[in-house]
Structure 1
């Protein structure tokens, strides 16, 4: 049986990993956006560039992210629930 301290550490690790992944994703998005903006200024200004992550794509990504998190952590949550945690 897993001790309470081990459960807290596991939960902390999972939440920390998820938050770190989200922060890294957002930082990369900002970096790529700034690079894209810089390059677009060097190109012909009459050209318009479509954003990399449009609103529809953002909602699709959010849905896929939530689904992946549910599939990944679902068994862990069920395990904790079955033990009365």
Structure 2
């Protein structure tokens, strides 16, 4: 049988991975919800196409979202001198 310490570590890893995965998924959904589709010019008959952000723009949006999500953790670690 696997030791109790190893079981606790595996459980912690599984729960942590699930929590981080859920947080990342929610951040990605929030980013995609925040992007509004381009509105067509008045009288246009073309279907509305969503503009895909450039890679650099998407990277900036992602970095801001991660900074906002992890700001409390960074502040707590910084206050302890890590």
Range class of TM-score, shorter chain: 0.3 to 0.5
Normalised by the length of structure 1, the TM-score is 0.43
Bigger helix fraction: 1
